[in-house]
Structures are given as C-alpha cells and as structure tokens.
Amino acid sequence: MMTRRDALKKTALSAAAVSLVTLPETNFAQAAAPTGPFKLPPLPYALDALEPHIDAKTMEIHHGRHHQAYITNLNKAVATDAKLAGTSLDELIRHLDEVPEAVRAAVRNNGGGHYNHSLFWQTMKKGGGGVPKGALGSAIEKTFGSFEKFKTAFSDAAMKQFGSGWAWLILEEKDLKVVSSPNQDVPFVHGKYPLLGVDVWEHAYYLKYQNKRADYVSAFFNVINWDVVTSRFEKPEL
C-alpha cells in the first residue's frame, strides 16, 4: 500500500520530469488560481488586542496582507500539482525534499511563511507575558539557569539574526534550545519542533518601532501566550 509519503515522492519524481518541459510564462500565470486549499486563519483576538506592545495597524497589515500573501503564493505553488494541493502544510514543510524542485523554493518560503505566522498569532494574547509555569517553566530554568537567562538568550538570537528571519524556542528531541532561522525557514525537521517564535522581519515592527528591533523584542515578552507554548511543549509533534 502506498503511503502518503510514497505518493508525494512519486508525485515529486513525475513532476520533476514534467518540469523539464518549458512552459510559456503565460500558461503558468493562468494556472495560478486565486484560491486554493490554504486559507488565512482568523486572528484569535482583535487587531488592537496587543496594544500598546504591538499596534493594530501593524497587526492589520501583517496578518491581512503579509500572511495572506504567503498563503496566496503557496496556493499558486501547489496548484501546479494535484497531489501537492492535497498535502497538509505540516507534510509539505517536513518533507521539502520531496516537493518538486520547480516549486520547492516557493513552498519553502510561502509554506514556511504560512506555518510561522499561524503559530505566531497563536502564541500571543491580550494580557500575556509573565513567566511560564509547570513543566515548561521548570525545563526552562533547568536548561537556561533561569527565566531571565532564557529571555536574554532568546533576545540575543532575535538581535543577531541578520536581516529577515525568526528567533525560536524549540524542542530538539527532549532538549529545549534557542535558535534562529533566516527568511521563513521553519525549525520543524529532524526531531525539531518549534514552541515559540518571534518574527524579526521589519514588517513585524517597523511602523511602531522603526529600526529599534530590541524594543520590539522586549515588548513581545509582554504578549506571549505561555499557555499555548506550554501545550506545545507537553504534546510535541516530533
């Protein structure tokens, strides 16, 4: 019986063969349907819920335009192949090597953008912040020495990410780690599972903070939804 992964691989191979045929650009443009399997998830709170830390205008543009653009472009990429269009976002992200080369970069960038932003909205809330309790709080203290030391490590990763990207708290096998990633790359392969990420693309903060990324990252700690992060820590999908 063919597994979904096998099916995707088979599709990738046949699509790779097809991609050797040069199609006129107009054909590709016509194939780019305006709709597709991926939809913009609604924000779990009002646009102004994270004020004053993250302003409503930034949220409106970030969610409604930037996140939507990743979804639109992801839908265009998967529209090139029926099997791809039926593959979940998690599967696409985890098995990029099985995505046809012709659309792999588009899936990596736009699928990653969709995944990262969907998680980002969920891990913030009105009146968030504070210190995580329970097993996650204990694991952070054990790994980093204290919550403050974790905060410093996470903030440093956010500041040192050159250009656009993300800083992350991830679970790698059973260990907590702070890492960063460029562009929309997702730390979601080979036993890695993202728990919390902060978007350090300028579109995430420039309207309110201009070039002061450190102030934005500091403010982000006031809106973190630790309940969601703790839930991901307790039930990781490794």
Site string for Fe ion, 154-193 (x = CB under 5 A): ----------------------------------------
The structure tokens listed for 182 are: 């460029």
Nearer to Fe ion, 96 or 200 (CB): 200
Q: Which stretch binds Fe ion (CB under 5 A): 1-9, 51-59, 179-187, 201-209?
A: 201-209
CB of 34 to Fe ion, least distance (A): 22
Residue with nearest beta carbon to Fe ion:
199
Nearer to Fe ion, 79 or 200 (CB): 200
CB of 66 to Fe ion, least distance (A): 5
C-alpha closest to that of 202 among 210, 194, 191: 210
The residue from 168, 188, 201, 205 that contacts Fe ion (CB under 5 A) is 201
The residue from 180, 199, 224, 225 that contacts Fe ion (CB under 5 A) is 199
Q: Which stretch binds Fe ion (CB under 5 A): 23-31, 51-59, 99-107, 195-203?
A: 195-203
Residue 44 neighbours by CB distance under 10 Å:
13
Q: Which stretch binds Fe ion (CB under 5 A): 37-45, 170-178, 199-207, 219-227?
A: 199-207
C-alpha closest to that of 38 among 77, 80, 9: 77
Residue 209 makes contact with Fe ion by CB under 5 A: no
The structure tokens listed for 15 are: 């699509």
CB of 203 to Fe ion, least distance (A): 5
Nearer to Fe ion, 8 or 200 (CB): 200
Q: Which stretch binds Fe ion (CB under 5 A): 175-183, 189-197, 198-206, 222-230?
A: 198-206
CA atoms within 13 A of residue 128's CA, in its CB half-sphere: 25
Identify whether the C-beta of residue 87 lies closer than 8 Å to the C-beta of residue 99.
no
Nearer to Fe ion, 81 or 199 (CB): 199
CB of 164 to Fe ion, least distance (A): 8
Identify whether the C-beta of residue 88 lies closer than 8 Å to the C-beta of residue 4.
no
By CB under 5 A, how many residues form the interface with Fe ion? 3
CB of 103 to Fe ion, least distance (A): 21
Binding positions for Fe ion, rule: CB under 5 A: 199, 201, 204
